[in-house]
Structure 1
Amino acid sequence: MKNYIQAEEWNIIESGFDPHLNKISESIFSLGNGRMGQRANFEETYSGESLQGNYVAGVYYPDKTRVGWWKNGYPEYFAKVLNAADWMGLELKLDGELLDLSLCKVTAFQRVLHMKEGYLERTFTAELASGKQVQVKARRFFSIANDEIAALHYQLIPLNFSGKLDLTAFINGDVKNQDSNYEEKFWDEVSRTQDESGSYLTLRTKKTAFDVITGVKTVVLQNSKTVQLTLDKLPREKFLSESGSVELTRNEGIDIYKIATNLSSQNYATADLLAQAKKTVQAAMAKGFDELLKEQAAAWANKWQEGDIIIEGDVAAQQAIRFNIFQLNQTYTGKDARLNIGPKGFTGEKYGGSTYWDTEAYCIPFYLSTAPQEVSKNLLVYRYKHLGKAIENAEKLGFTKGAALYPMVTMNGEECHNEWEITFEEIHRNGAIAFAIFNYIRYTGDASYLKEYGLEVLIGIARFWKQRVNWSADKKQYVMLGVTGPNEYENNINNNWYTNTLAGWCLKYAMEAAEIVKEEDPEQYQQIVAKTSLAEEKEFADWKEISANIYLPYDEEQGVFLQQDGYLDKEQILVKDLPASERPLNQKWSWDRILRSCYIKQADVLQGMYFFEDDYDLESLRRNFDFYESRTVHESSLSPCVHSILAAKLNDGDRAYEFYLRTARLDLDDYNNDTEDGLHITSMAGTWMSIVEGFGGMRVKNDTLCFNPFLPEQWTSFAFTIGFRGNQFTIKVTKDEIMINTTTKELLHINIFNKLQPVQAGETVINYRGLLV
């Protein structure tokens, strides 16, 4: 665990430069706008340890899977988000001496992520080997007001000398992915153009043939006068530069501005990319850096108004939740249903930048409450558009008749995960997608989604589960063999309780959804029946039979659901009895040893109890929570948030707060020693859930917002803003009161501690201690 980020409510601050922490900071201070993004690499040359990263949403490469042997149904490739052209590069030489913080004495250094306004600022003072001292202030941002624009202002001041500065500004497209399986570079150059409007480099991905143009206009000012740069005619592939020399005067600086765009053939015809890039850059240049930054601040103000969380009395917790909300809004905006949320967003390459079940299980609740309804709907439509591929994925594994198996990892709907125990066995992802449809309709009331998109998906998923189970003559029930549950420290096990529970629920929900569509729009229902070749009577009878008789492992003595068959055969040594020196297990133990242990990577049984909490009483939840949490090592970023929510439901304040802080500061404090690879974007949504669903106790039941708030003793109060069915609510919880603000003019009712309370425009104050009497 690291502890070098200063706690402040609205800013992420790093003071002092430690090169050993640089890759971690590159992740933490990353920027993005839903369309493109970038790690916090330095603008100037840096020869120290760094993970260079620039990314364009939706642009990927099918890197050949690297395995020792092949299996039928195995994915042929592992899709990867690509490290794209670096648009901000600067090479700065002072009297021939290169400015490189790896070679300098850094006497002052600060990096600040201004989350309220949405920009990154870095200041430093460095002494070169010659003794020359320079001061630098750099600010940059990716605009969410115009997601095709990024901008940079770099100011350099000589402190103790006058001399010559040789400046080169460049676009470098000669990049590769750190995780390239065979050290291959994934881009080919298509064209290059340099003129007075800027520099424009067009690259094309190998195999997938995405064209991406990176356009940059560089302006250098000295005493408010433009310094002319010369376009370099270098014979270097995938690289464009312009350079110039400036005579610097002591304590008088220069200002370098770069306005950049990344446009892809996803959104523009290839033939139009250059003209559109020039148009975009010129329009941004006409506004200038300062005006673009004002627009950025205004756009972020709207974001914070829609979904800020305010915590009083705990600066570390306040900083953490805003950091998580900030990164989520940088990663996905919901404007394009072809895009989804990679586990690392625009902050790194790990996990390929592809779509996982994290989106449905963790991210959709966040966007349901903090963004327009269309945003979360587009995440579901993304899966609907991949239904055909999901059916093909199932066919490759031997399933028939329209059974759909959604991929564990994907860019275009095809499975592209390269670990067999995940690809073939972690099939609970199907259930998370079905649950997300249910969750979306429950929250928005948009039942029309079923007839437009959802029912077809649910039918495909139900058909998969029907074929995936088999009848056990021994148990006289349906069983599911050879699976991996959410706990990936168990592979190829039988009857994972969570997976079986989800399968049974999916079968029932598919039938319920069919009845809803049939009743509300019989004509549309018949079209779906015809399109899917649904044999309603026979298939529904099978689904009903399986859902009513699926085997769910249970131990009578412990009074807990068993994670899988044989779980209690394992040696039951609790986590508290594990030496700290042996953790994290995935870095200290062999995989064989992990698989034979009782240790749990993340919520498994408890994930199911979180989804279907109304099916279990508090005592059952408490027994299972105490049993499984004591065996959970939380070595998945997705684990602490579920435990925090359930602990809050159990009124266990200490553990709820402990798990919240762990999930909220997972990256800021580098809990798992892996932040340098990129941030855990999808688990950040779980941080929001920990507060709103955990401490706030927010649920939607019978079309009504419900709250059962719980105030951690470390906090004076907390407040969160959510949108619900066209209305916006701000809920503030103190020791004794709940204050509800809404702009709605109509009288509404909110359920608080199981009592309906009237709410209308203005502030409603409820003394909930009185409610509890």
Structure 2
Amino acid sequence: MINYSVGTGDLKNWIVAETDFSADVLGKSEAIMMLGNGYMGLRSATEEPYIQEKRNLFINGTFNKSQENEVTELPNAADFTQLDIRVDGERFSLEFGETNEYIKQLNLKTAELTRSFVWESPKKKKLQFKFSRFVSLNNMHLIAMKVEVESLSHSVAISFDSGINGQMTNSGAQHFLEGERRILDERFIQLSQKTSESDVEMVFNTVHHFRFNGEPTLPVADKDMQRRKVWMAYEFYLEPNDKLEMEKLSTVHTSRDQVVEQNSMDFEQLRQLSIEELKQYEEKGYDVLFKEHVKAWHDQVWKNYNFKVESDHAFDQLALRFSLYHLTAMQPPSGYEHLGVGAKAMSGEGYKGHTFWDLEIFILPFFIYSNPTAAKSLLTYRYHGLAGARKKAEENGYAGAMYPWEMAWPEDGETTPIWGDIDIVTGAQSKIWSGFIEQHISADIAFAVYQYEQVTGDKEFMERCGYEMIFETAKFWSSRLEWNEERERYEIHNVIGPDEYKEHVSNNAFTNYMAYFNLKLAERYAEQLSAQNPQFLETFDLGDANLDWKTKAEKLYLPEPRTTDLIIPQDDTYLQLPEIDLAKYKNQSKVRMIYRDYNSEQINGIQVTKQADTLLLFYLLEQTFLQQDSRLSSAVKQENYQFYEPRTLHDSSLSLAVHAVIANDLGESDTAYSLFRKACEIDLGEQMNTSDDGIHAAAIGGIWTSAVFGFGGVRFSESTLQINPRLPKQWRRMQFAICWQGTALTLEITHQSLKVTAYDGAVTFETDGKTYHIQNGEIEIQIGREIEINSH
């Protein structure tokens, strides 16, 4: 059972806990309690092994293809966490004996995982166990573990087999060649491996340190090796009240590390460097390293983001901290501009570690507003992907950059698998069409570049990366448009929009409007550069491209709201499709239940939507220079929300946050709050199998989005910050921090007032149609009137 109420005092609403153990439902806590620092992600499997476990360690950016007919994926790296424990010579497992006082918990504040319980063996011997671990935010290569065992009743023999297990696979696929194993100085274990296709070299190190009744001890160990595995075996005898403590410190390094590239380091040098580093960590020990790690979380995360909510439901505060925790754990380290964020982050094998449009639309906004440096790094990852995007465009007969639907290492290009789930009607594999015809991602990336530039004002990034990304994606759309001679307009045929229940459709509204936005954006930037820096513009060798963008954008078909009811057709055929009673699926206990009754082809012919599609247009484009377009007016948004929401099953975790924001905009506060809670419960809900393949990174970003953009009313609008809050009745107050064009801001919101504090800079913002300006000070506004301004 997952429990969110165990935290008390200073830890209230900071603890995600599991208070009962079941070997049949391990995936939930393994995923939502994962540990990470952006360089690596460690799934929180138990130390002792179980059949249903998924033991994962992923190192960001180390993609490999295991077989020629497979796609590249993040390889499941060698495991440090499994301990083969024996009590009186018998294998220790919670499936035997009796377990009491069990609790497994992730402390979000300290980013430490602990598990403790009292266990009575089948021989009636009682032992107290406590396991602790963290993945350091201060030392990005470090994984630290601690085991504490106390005999509560009898004399007992206890032994540990502990080391490095390189026999790990991705659902059976082996990604590593056999490497070298060695034990140095009788204590330091090292395993070196190389990926089978991408030639990424990795070195894994570990060392153990023991205390017996508080005193350091160095037991004699048996050493052993097997194929891809090396370990040491330790044995102890405990009398009643004896306490044994084992620390295990481990490190991971790869040939793609920054230090390797900057110093032209060979692998042997990296191996030696990594051992010397581990020796330094061992001198400090778990407790000192943990304090450094906790300080890093405080200084880099909790002090900076400072998100507080006073709610009728304590869960809301915990959910927002959970969001910030995982967004930090998935953030690539500083300087690692070739690393992205996968749809499951690094918490499981789902989606193979690939980056989707989830990054730009649902994850990146948090970083743009909260950590612009990290946002720039993630957009630079997409910039490095231009080579693969150009290659995909050329292979499909287009110009410019056609971004992959799924992206791994930037230069890899398209990495979407071709085959997926079973077709319940034919029994065959279903083809995954997204990599071929879900093309809106190129415009989504263009939107993210625009959003970043508007919010941060970062011209250096635009000159180095941004303009080129915009121009190249515009070239793609210009070549992608299809001329309809009969109607004298450009159209876009045979695509998948955000609603992946509709394949091979024409004129998907989201795709067409976003392509239009991309073309107009390129046109605007080219005109700005022509006036401000024509010499720089010439470096892009655009020729007549700007004129082409302008001409084609003006003649691109944009589905209009129907005059009868203002509904924008999702695509050419959606409004003509038959309707069915969707109540069964709207009230489903888990997602995608519709696939139990229909296959993809049948769903394609029903008026049903997987996730926010047409509605997403309003959320995105009303923040742009298209905000005054009558086709995107508030009245049109209202009618389309009322029409599409009942037809949307939210079978994607990306959907709920968008609907929550729009519902709040439209004054449907109760619905917005309900959707916010459902978004939180995608990973934090009571169902124990929702996160087996990993957490839902976009939904976790969506928790922050629905709170800040929805209830907080924060938006950008053509370089202007807008703040129009509307708190749900369940919330009395919220406080959070954002950055706006280099100035750090804190916003405090109640039902009666908005207080904005600016630090080390000035900001101009709009609230309720009025403009305010502050510099190094604070302003409080109540019901449209200014209360007071204090200068610092």
Paired residue secondary structure (1:665): helix
Q: Note if contact 2:49-2:82 (Cα within 8 Å) is conserved in structure 1.
A: no
For 1:753 and 1:334, the matched residues in 2 are separated by 39
For 1:595 and 1:411, the matched residues in 2 are separated by 33
Amino acid at match of 1:184: A
TM-score, L = length of structure 2: 0.91
TM-score, L = length of structure 1: 0.93
For 1:294 and 1:578, the matched residues in 2 are separated by 48
> In the alignment, what sits opposite 1:562?
569
Shift of 1:136: 0.9
> In the alignment, what sits opposite 2:56?
53
- Which moves more between the two structures, 625-634 or 571-580? 571-580
For 1:508 and 1:341, the matched residues in 2 are separated by 28
For 1:257 and 1:101, the matched residues in 2 are separated by 22
* C-alpha distance 763-545 of structure 1, shift in aligned 2 (>3 A): closer
* C-alpha distance 704-501 of structure 1, shift in aligned 2 (>3 A): closer
> In the alignment, what sits opposite 1:70?
none
> In the alignment, what sits opposite 2:713?
697
Shift of 1:578: 4.9
Shift of 1:233: 4.2
Q: Does structure 1 residue 588 correspond to structure 2 residue 596?
A: yes
2:704 to 670, 674, 688: 688
> In the alignment, what sits opposite 1:289?
286
> In the alignment, what sits opposite 1:146?
139
1:16 to 15, 20, 33: 20
Amino acid at match of 1:47: Y
> In the alignment, what sits opposite 2:328?
329
Q: Does structure 1 residue 301 correspond to structure 2 residue 298?
A: yes
Shift of 1:605: 0.5
* C-alpha distance 345-762 of structure 1, shift in aligned 2 (>3 A): same
Question: Structure 1: where are the runs of 5+ without partners?
Answer: 67-76
For 2:444 and 2:569, the matched residues in 1 are separated by 20
Per-residue CA deviation, residues 8-48 of structure 1 (Å, 9 max, x unaligned), is 511112212133332111111110011112111112x2234
> In the alignment, what sits opposite 2:256?
266
Per-residue CA deviation, residues 519-562 of structure 1 (Å, 9 max, x unaligned), is 33322222221xxxx22x3x222221221111123433231111
Q: Does structure 1 residue 611 correspond to structure 2 residue 624?
A: no
For 2:3 and 2:487, the matched residues in 1 are separated by 55
Q: Note if contact 2:66-2:174 (Cα within 8 Å) is conserved in structure 1.
A: no
Amino acid at match of 1:603: A
* C-alpha distance 3-91 of structure 1, shift in aligned 2 (>3 A): closer
Paired residue secondary structure (2:58): strand
Shift of 1:586: 4.9
* C-alpha distance 494-672 of structure 1, shift in aligned 2 (>3 A): farther
For 2:401 and 2:758, the matched residues in 1 are separated by 45
* C-alpha distance 703-409 of structure 1, shift in aligned 2 (>3 A): closer
Shift of 1:406: 3.7
For 1:519 and 1:586, the matched residues in 2 are separated by 54
Paired residue secondary structure (1:676): coil
> In the alignment, what sits opposite 1:426?
438
Per-residue CA deviation, residues 567-620 of structure 1 (Å, 9 max, x unaligned), is 112122364465746963355232233222211111110111111122422111
Per-residue CA deviation, residues 716-762 of structure 1 (Å, 9 max, x unaligned), is 21111112223221111112112223333x55433222212343445
Paired residue secondary structure (1:189): coil
For 1:622 and 1:456, the matched residues in 2 are separated by 36
Q: Note if contact 1:165-1:245 (Cα within 8 Å) is conserved in structure 2.
A: yes
Shift of 1:230: 4.2
Question: Structure 2: where are the runs of 5+ without partners?
Answer: 7-11, 261-265, 419-431, 788-792
Q: Note if contact 2:43-2:348 (Cα within 8 Å) is conserved in structure 1.
A: yes
For 2:634 and 2:273, the matched residues in 1 are separated by 59
> In the alignment, what sits opposite 1:490?
502
Q: Note if contact 1:166-1:246 (Cα within 8 Å) is conserved in structure 2.
A: yes
> In the alignment, what sits opposite 2:263?
none
Structure scoring higher RCO (CA < 8 A, sep ≥ 6) equals: 1
> In the alignment, what sits opposite 1:757?
772
Per-residue CA deviation, residues 112-162 of structure 1 (Å, 9 max, x unaligned), is 111111111111122222222211111111111111111111101122211
Paired residue secondary structure (1:20): coil
Q: 1:92-103 counterparts in 2 under 5 A?
A: 92-103=85-96
For 2:609 and 2:688, the matched residues in 1 are separated by 15
> In the alignment, what sits opposite 1:507?
519
> In the alignment, what sits opposite 1:679?
695
For 2:384 and 2:685, the matched residues in 1 are separated by 38
Q: Does structure 1 residue 638 correspond to structure 2 residue 654?
A: yes
Q: Note if contact 1:193-1:201 (Cα within 8 Å) is conserved in structure 2.
A: yes
Query: Could you say what the CA RMSD is over the residues aligned between the two structures, in angstroms?
Result: 2.1
For 2:390 and 2:592, the matched residues in 1 are separated by 38
Q: Note if contact 1:334-1:374 (Cα within 8 Å) is conserved in structure 2.
A: no
For 1:637 and 1:48, the matched residues in 2 are separated by 28
2:176 to 157, 162, 187: 187
Shift of 1:78: 1.5
* C-alpha distance 742-580 of structure 1, shift in aligned 2 (>3 A): closer
Q: Note if contact 1:584-1:672 (Cα within 8 Å) is conserved in structure 2.
A: no
For 1:396 and 1:193, the matched residues in 2 are separated by 46
Q: 1:44-193 counterparts in 2 under 5 A?
A: 45-64=48-67, 77-178=70-171, 183-193=172-182
Paired residue secondary structure (2:497): coil
1:408 to 406, 409, 413: 406
Q: Note if contact 1:79-1:410 (Cα within 8 Å) is conserved in structure 2.
A: yes
* C-alpha distance 736-549 of structure 1, shift in aligned 2 (>3 A): same
Per-residue CA deviation, residues 221-272 of structure 1 (Å, 9 max, x unaligned), is 1023333344544341111111222111112210010111100011223121
1:226 to 212, 216, 229: 216
> In the alignment, what sits opposite 1:242?
232
* C-alpha distance 133-644 of structure 1, shift in aligned 2 (>3 A): same
For 1:130 and 1:231, the matched residues in 2 are separated by 26
- Which moves more between the two structures, 310-319 or 626-635? 310-319
Paired residue secondary structure (1:202): strand
For 2:101 and 2:694, the matched residues in 1 are separated by 26
Shift of 1:691: 0.8
The alignment-based identity, stated in percent, is 28
For 1:408 and 1:367, the matched residues in 2 are separated by 21
Q: Note if contact 2:402-2:439 (Cα within 8 Å) is conserved in structure 1.
A: no
Q: Note if contact 1:417-1:423 (Cα within 8 Å) is conserved in structure 2.
A: yes
Q: Does structure 1 residue 382 correspond to structure 2 residue 398?
A: no
Q: Note if contact 1:228-1:244 (Cα within 8 Å) is conserved in structure 2.
A: no
Paired residue secondary structure (1:141): strand
User: Aligned pair count?
Assistant: 747
For 1:121 and 1:649, the matched residues in 2 are separated by 41
* C-alpha distance 500-333 of structure 1, shift in aligned 2 (>3 A): same
* C-alpha distance 291-15 of structure 1, shift in aligned 2 (>3 A): same
* C-alpha distance 597-63 of structure 1, shift in aligned 2 (>3 A): farther
Per-residue CA deviation, residues 169-216 of structure 1 (Å, 9 max, x unaligned), is 2211111112xxxx3311123212212351111111101111111111
Amino acid at match of 2:390: I
Shift of 1:648: 1.2
> In the alignment, what sits opposite 2:242?
252
Q: Note if contact 1:194-1:231 (Cα within 8 Å) is conserved in structure 2.
A: no
